[in-house]
Chains A and B, each alone.
Chain A
Amino acid sequence: MRNDTLVKTDTFPARFMDKLLMGMPLSDYVRTLITPFNLLAAGILSIGIPLIVVRFAQGLASVTHASNEYPWSLLLGWGLFSGVPLSATGYIMATAVYIFGFKRYHPLVRLGVLTGFLGYLFAVIYLLIDIGRPWRIYYPMAVSFGPTSVLFLVAWHVALYLTVQLLEFSPAILEWLQSRRVRKWAVMITIGMTVAGVILSTLHQSALGALFLLAPGKVHPLWYSPYIPVFFFLSSIYAGLAMVIAVSTLFARFMSDRADRQFLETLEPLTVGLGKGACIAIFVYFAMKLIGVAHDDHWALLGTPHGYWFLTEILLFVLVPGIVLTLGVKRNSARIVRAGAFFALAGVILNRLNVSLIMFNWNLPDHFRHLVPPVKEVFIVLAVATIHIILFRWIVNRMPVLREHPDYEGHG
């Protein structure tokens, strides 16, 4: 499926429209849009987007709990704290292929980088909806510096890393736009950007955990640990690997016409390979979590209701996916590895929600009442997630992500 090379038109606007509509006449293009998924998406957006407008017109109180005890809600618990580890795909894949030399995984690099870039972009979008004065989002970078703050570090790193990932993905955009000369420059900086990406990711993945170090007593002791930055970083490694498995599975299932043969043929063995990596990372993480309990001597807390929940998290949502992944790798089965990967991702999301919401303020009266998010907020989250998927699909439909562009085969 290479529509972008089929039709040759001359004027710039015509060529551009051609790219946007994937070489189809407008009426045909519109007809392709009427699908069950799109109807569902339209339904969600028709509720969610007006709610986003309401939030900006009337303040956060109109759509969230607006709680002074729980300043961070689902918007950040999901959008930022869960979204960022799931977007570790970019630095994981780029490092594996370009730095450590796992060249076999090259067909998955662009997908990893794009998943990462969009993940961060949307984390910022959730943030812009959540913060009180989004028009001042650049203040930590330009107006007033608070270097004692972990959030200062997060702000800088997320901003820089978003830029880095855009540059890392830019060859695909430039191939789509057939800008050969600029693309050459963009490819030249790959190694530099990859190294920058690892540094920035190491620091802000862990910093998202370190944010909660300032709240001893508010986060339950089983989740509050001096190792929390290490936990967040380690889990981002297997989250990134599992996310590449998950996203590639979905694309191979639903958009295989956008992938080339190399992608589709190598996907299963590569999935098992990624599963092996995720397996090692998940067991390292599991061991670290146990060391965390031992370090603070919190064994006795494991026998409390909160302890059962902690055990559920690390046994059912870390150890079990680890075992499933091992099984998949041993049997060389991409199917089992995929199941393990989705399971592991659920565990990462659960962990981030536990730290940022479920176990935050665990000792306040009426704690659990605060955990049920207002319907309006849920719809905003759903709407942003829907736009995320639509944009992802839009890019994969047009740009060479799951395939190599015929004009640039074997060029980085």
Chain B
Amino acid sequence: MAEIPKRRPPEGEEIRTGSDPPEPARRGRGVSRRDCLKTLTVAGCAALAGGAGEALAYKKFPGWPDRFGMLTDLTECVGCRSCEAACNAANRLPAPEVPFDEKSVFEEKRRPDAKAYTVVNRYPNPDRPREPVYRKVQCNHCNEPGCASACPVRAYTKTPEGAVLYNKDVCFGCRYCMVACPFYVPGYDYGSATDPRIEKCTLCHERVRAGGIPACAQACPVEAIRFGKREDLIRLARQKIGKSPGRYVDHIYGEHEVGGTGWMYLSGVPFSALDFPTGLPDTPLVEQTKGFLSAVPMVLVLWPALLGMSYAATREKDKEKEEEK
């Protein structure tokens, strides 16, 4: 309840690509203590008065309002790898073994790892063999991330701005986040003995907070990667599909997958042909473990009672036997 977004999201059309000049962030008025108290009091009263109807409903977090997302239009992507280069520079990652203008990397499928937060893979186009499809892979910044629900030390945060961020200062390296991520995104720095960490896309969080846009979106020469409020992007994606239904598969990948992702995709060929995990549940992954975790307190409370009873029963029998003697 006490969580108050630090800044008011900018108003109006907010979808931006590299060709738009970056705007400075329009910061909302800081939240004063009085406002805060007022909000808390109102919220507290509301909670006490307790809309009886609401209390019956399932408590649900619909996600941070006005959070940002990305939309990759795979029909536009030309496979130039500018996004990879821009990402590498923006995140000060080590220089690649093969230069970014080298096309031979497409011979095999790559995945993001500790040295590259995003990679582009090439797939044959079943309809037009001469025009291959390129797929950019990076963290999808889920609305309710599996990595975050997996982390036993809460190293992951879904920020109000939309990025899923990782905090290396609490991580102890169990790598359960990597097991849980349905998109095979987090990369681990296996080569480090003293300072190993998870590496993954940050949705250029600092740039976004400073009013900029993610480096890959800025670098894309064909506007295949768009940055904006997630809701606006969904609207835009629908418009695109509506305008040219022949061009797109009628599906926005990421709108509902695992509860919705911040990064979404449009494609001209079926997503399954591009190695997108299909068949994922539409609910956040955390729902899969909720049932189990809610049974935990029951075991904690019921077992001692049942076992205690059983113990008492054995004692009772022993006593009877002794008395018989």
User: Interface centre among B150, B152, B175, B291, by most A CB within 10 Å?
Assistant: B152
**Chain A residues near B303 (CB-CB < 8 A):** 195, 198-199, 202
Verify A214–B196 contact, CB threshold 8 A: no
A214-B289 contact, Cβ under 8 Å, with A61-B191, A71-B179, A99-B307: yes
**Chain A residues near B179 (CB-CB < 8 A):** 71-72, 211-212, 214-215, 218, 360
Verify B289–A59 contact, CB threshold 8 A: no
Tell whether B262 is near chain A: CB-to-CB under 8 Å: no
Verify A132–B176 contact, CB threshold 8 A: no
Verify B281–A58 contact, CB threshold 8 A: no
- When the two chains form the complex, which single residue of B149, B171, B184, B308 contacts A195, counting CB atoms closer than 8 Å? B308
Verify A215–B153 contact, CB threshold 8 A: no
Chain B's nearest CB lies how many Å from the CB of A72? 6
- When the two chains form the complex, which single residue of A68, A145, A214, A218 contacts B113, counting CB atoms closer than 8 Å? A68
Interface majority SS on A: helix, strand, loop or mixed?
helix
Tell whether B91 is near chain A: CB-to-CB under 8 Å: no
A152 to B149: give the CA distance in the assembly, Å: 10
- On A, residues with C-beta under 8 Å from B are 55-61, 64, 66, 68-69, 71-72, 95, 98-101, 131-134, 136-137, 139-140, 143-146, 148-155, 191, 195, 198-199, 202-203, 206-207, 210-218, 226, 229, 360, 365
Q: Which residue of B is nearest A211, CB measured?
A: B176
Q: Which residue of A is nearest B112, CB measured?
A: A68
Verify A149–B196 contact, CB threshold 8 A: no
Tell whether B48 is near chain A: CB-to-CB under 8 Å: no
- When the two chains form the complex, which single residue of B152, B186, B197 contacts A155, counting CB atoms closer than 8 Å? B152
Verify B170–A215 contact, CB threshold 8 A: no
**Chain A residues near B113 (CB-CB < 8 A):** 68
A146-B153 contact, Cβ under 8 Å, with A213-B289, A226-B291: yes
A260 to B176: give the CA distance in the assembly, Å: 46
Q: Chain B 156-182 against A: per-residue CB contact (8 Å), 1 yes, 0 no?
A: 000000000000001111111011101
Q: Which residue of B is nearest A66, CB measured?
A: B190
**Chain B residues near A212 (CB-CB < 8 A):** 179
**Chain A residues near B286 (CB-CB < 8 A):** 148, 214
Binds A, one of B79-87, B120-128, B225-233, B292-300: B292-300
**Chain A residues near B246 (CB-CB < 8 A):** none
Verify A144–B170 contact, CB threshold 8 A: yes
Chain B's nearest CB lies how many Å from the CB of A195? 5
B residues 114-154 with Cβ under 8 Å of A?
146, 148-154
A68-B196 contact, Cβ under 8 Å, with A100-B314, A137-B172: no
The 4 closest A-B pairs by CB, nearest first: A132-B173, A101-B314, A66-B190, A71-B175
**Chain B residues near A153 (CB-CB < 8 A):** 293, 296
- When the two chains form the complex, which single residue of A133, A150, A199, A211 contacts B173, counting CB atoms closer than 8 Å? A133
A99-B314 contact, Cβ under 8 Å, with A133-B172, A143-B170: yes
B residues 236-280 with Cβ under 8 Å of A?
277, 279-280
Tell whether B2 is near chain A: CB-to-CB under 8 Å: no
A50 to B300: give the CA distance in the assembly, Å: 43
**Chain A residues near B174 (CB-CB < 8 A):** 131-132, 151
Supply 5 A–B pairs (Cβ within 8 Å), ascending by A. A69-B111, A133-B196, A140-B172, A144-B154, A149-B152
A365 to B272: give the CA distance in the assembly, Å: 14
Verify B279–A217 contact, CB threshold 8 A: yes
Tell whether B213 is near chain A: CB-to-CB under 8 Å: no
Verify B299–A203 contact, CB threshold 8 A: yes
Verify A216–B280 contact, CB threshold 8 A: yes
A66 to B193: give the CA distance in the assembly, Å: 12
A149 to B154: give the CA distance in the assembly, Å: 9
Q: Which residue of B is nearest A226, CB measured?
A: B291
Chain B's nearest CB lies how many Å from the CB of A152? 4
**Chain A residues near B288 (CB-CB < 8 A):** 213-214, 216
- When the two chains form the complex, which single residue of A56, A68, A215 contacts B193, counting CB atoms closer than 8 Å? A56
Tell whether B58 is near chain A: CB-to-CB under 8 Å: no
